[in-house]
Amino acid sequence: MSNTMLHTCIRVRDLEKSLTFYQEALGLREVRRKDVPENKFTLVYLAFEENGFELELTYNYDQMKAYDIGNGYGHLAIGVDDLNAAHEKHVANDYTVTKIFSLPGSKTIYYFITDPDGYKTEIIQNNTLS
């Protein structure tokens, strides 16, 4: 038996603003979309071309207030080849980012970027997880 991780869903208030963020800031691309007007929602799936895991953005037509992210949700994580260049780009484009951190006793370096709805994505230097 083989299991596969397929996608993670997050709910967003402004679909276009969120699409712009995930495409421009993180380099994801839209791979498919399902609009369900009778139930008042749209699903948009984003992915990198290199693998099949997807991020599902769920937009509910009538959601006017911010979603409660809750204290159980942590973050998404993306590996990049040049962490410093990614960080500089995100800072230059006025995204909400943290400084670059490292884990104690580890060569892992990373920072966090926050999307328009407050979801965090950890950006990790490839080949430094230990």
- Reading across the β-sheet that carries 29-36, which strands appear in turn? 7-12, 54-60, 41-47, 29-36
Is 122 a residue of the active site? yes
List the helix and strand counts (H, then E) for the chain: 2, 9
* Active-site pick, 30, 49, 56, 122: 122
Q: Could you list the active site residues?
A: 122
